[in-house]
Amino acid sequence: MAIQFLDSRLSLQLSNSEGTEHISRTPQLLGDIGLETIAAVGTPNQSNIRVSLWGTIGVSGKSGDAVSIFVQRGGTDQLDPGPIIYSAVVELTGRSNTQLLTFAAGDFPSAQDAASGEIRYTMFTREHNSKSRVILTGPISFNGMAVAGNA
């Protein structure tokens, strides 16, 4: 079956670099999107959905500080035991104390995940053994796109 575009969404928490909030030591929700799969439900494409996810988190901290990033499928407003489809620990480096952390992730949800007509993806971050407090300066965005098919 031909490639089928399903949905594209954007979660924008902060569009500039003027944030001053500290990153928590417990996971905090920074991005939340629901990608619609309804157009593929009940078709052979329901088993061939592919999701591309990407995001940016602007932070300020000292060299050696680290930030964890998580992306979860089907979760809630809290990082829970659901499937974490992407995780990374990013160590801040260099002399500049402001950095843009960017990532790209992919997911192959099951036909059962797609059956409800929408799949929720959430992006979380937390400090990871930092020596000082890391600040969310921004920008902060989380984006996703779902397609189906195998041609």
Q: C-alpha angle 135/144/24, rounded to 5°?
A: 20
Structure tokens at 1: 């079956």
d(C-alpha 18, C-alpha 92), whole Å: 19
Closest CA relative to residue 121, chosen from 16, 26, 8, 43: 8
The 10s digit of each residue's pLDDT in 61-98 is 988 899 999 999 998 999 987 899 999 999 998 766 78
The 10s digit of each residue's pLDDT in 9-21 is 999 999 999 999 9
Q: Which helix (H) or strand (E) segment is 8 a member of?
A: strand 4-14
Residues found in the chain? 151
Structure tokens at 102: 């960017």
Give yes or no for a contact between 136 and 29, defined as CB atoms under 8 angstroms apart.
no
Closest CA relative to residue 55, chosen from 81, 85, 82: 85
The 10s digit of each residue's pLDDT in 98-107 is 899 999 999 9
Examine the pLDDT at 37 and tell me if it is beyond 80: yes
Examine the pLDDT at 46 and tell me if it is beyond 70: yes
Q: Which helix (H) or strand (E) segment is 88 a member of?
A: strand 84-91
pTM as predicted: 0.94
